[in-house]
Homo-oligomer: A and B are copies of this chain.
Amino acid sequence: MDYESKAVARRRKLRDSLIAAAEETIETEGLRGMKARELATKVGCAVGAIYNVFSDLDDLIFAVNALTLEQLETTLTAANTETADPQTGAIRKLTHLAVAYTDYAAANRRRWRALFDHRLAEDQEVPTWYKTNLARLFAYIEAPLRQIAPGMADADRALLARSMFSAVHGIVLIGLEEKLQSLPLTVIREQVVTMVQAMARGLATPSS
């Protein structure tokens, strides 16, 4: 191994260690715990070394959130079962996806919250690669919607998927919210199932 590739390997190792340390911080303390000095202590590097592999802490948080999206995608893939009748199949699929999302959020509260609580400075943009990852998750909702509301323009379907996701997200968020008296997970699941099925049936029924 020449000098160049050793340096690359060292950088990669530092990057991986920092991501692992940040994951642990987010899981135990949430985003508030993310401090450069503490991360540096955890992985045993100088504070300045962090900025050799990440442009800033936001960049590191995006890396962790991308792993969270990957975990989420794994649970969505598992939930995405096929059934024979396309119409009820689509409603069932949406239900499974929504329940998988609910269960993931409940089991990984701090990781899940970090996806939404991460605020960027005004001049900063969400990286394109992260947006691409997000879009891939929305596609899981768009597929069954295509069966429920066929003939809809792609842009409208994408917006509908976002609405449906947002509605489920709201139920999970308020359901787990302690200030409004948090609900048991089984009750949140029932709420999600009831509302997703009502939405899907309603979307399949033309308005009078």
Contacts and interface: CB of A to CB of B under 8 A. Distances in A.
A158 to B, nearest CB: 11
Contact of A170 (B88, B173, B181): B173
Interface stretch (A12-20, A48-56, A72-80, A190-198): A190-198
Q: Please tell me how many copies of the chain the complex holds.
A: 2
B163 A195 contact: yes
A202 to B, nearest CB: 3
B118 A179 contact: yes
A42 to B, nearest CB: 25
A2 to B, nearest CB: 41
A46 to B, nearest CB: 30
Using C-beta atoms within 8 Å of the partner chain, give the interface range for chain A.
35 or more
Contact of A202 (B175, B178, B202): B202
A195 B134 contact: no
A126 interface: yes
A11 to B, nearest CB: 28
Contacts of A43: none
Contacts of A197: 202, 207
Given A198-B199, A201-B202, A207-B201, A169 B174 contact: yes
A185 interface: no
A58 B116 CA distance: 24
A205 interface: yes
18 contacts: A126-B179, A134-B180, A159-B187, A159-B191, A162-B180, A163-B194, A166-B170, A166-B171, A166-B173, A167-B167, A167-B168, A167-B170, A167-B199, A168-B170, A170-B173, A199-B199, A200-B202, A202-B202
Interface of A: 88, 116, 118-120, 126, 134, 159-160, 162-171, 173-175, 177-181, 187, 191, 194-195, 197-203, 205, 207-208
